[in-house]
Amino acid sequence: MKILVIQEEGESRDNLVSFLESKGAEVVATRPSWPGFFLKAKDERPDVAVVDCSPDPGYGIECAGYLGETGFTNRIKVLAVNVAPHQTARLKRRAPKARIVPLDNLEQALAEIDPAFGESE
């Protein structure tokens, strides 16, 4: 499974990438900035995008929305993590195809998409 992680650079992203790679995923990471994340998604053709929707700086919701809008990227499954409760309605409006997943349930959500996820440990 190829996963695109859209999150600001830093320890949290490094930890997430390491975790996903330890489960056998091919991981590509990018920052939530236009047009970089979109071009990365278009070029890499991931199966899933894990989008950090933390409120700071807050571009994750917009990224999740753009991924669902074009023929180049609308087939990508979008999992939104770190969604603040007060941002849930905004995410559902902007990115109706995105699935909100608590970070501690990410492994289970990815296994639902691809049952082979995590089997190569």
CATH number, domain of 46, equals: 3.40.50.2300
Is 4 strand, coil or helix? strand
Query: Does residue 82 belong to any structural domain of this protein?
Result: yes
Query: Does residue 119 belong to any structural domain of this protein?
Result: no
Query: Does residue 85 belong to any structural domain of this protein?
Result: yes
Distances (CA, A) of 44 to 4, 12, 72: 8, 22, 11
Share of residues in the chain with pLDDT > 90 (%)? 83
- For residue 12, give its domain range: 2-110
The pLDDT score that the predictor gives to residue 121 is: 53
Q: Are the beta carbons of 76 and 67 closer than 8 angstroms?
A: yes
**Residue 26 bridge partners (DSSP):** 2
Query: Does residue 121 belong to any structural domain of this protein?
Result: no
pLDDT, tens digit, for every residue of 33-59?
989 999 999 999 999 999 999 877 679
| Own/partner long-range contacts of 35-40 (Cβ < 8 Å, ≥24 apart) | 37/4, 37/6, 37/63, 37/66, 38/63, 38/66, 38/67, 38/73, 40/4
Number of domains present in the structure of the chain: 1
Query: Does residue 94 belong to any structural domain of this protein?
Result: yes
CA dist 59 and 62 (Å) reads: 5
pLDDT, tens digit, for every residue of 76-101?
999 999 999 999 999 999 999 999 99
pLDDT, tens digit, for every residue of 7-25?
999 999 999 999 999 999 9
Share of residues in the chain with pLDDT > 70 (%)? 98
Average pLDDT of the chain, as a whole number: 92
Q: Are the beta carbons of 120 and 22 closer than 8 angstroms?
A: no
Is 29 strand, coil or helix? strand
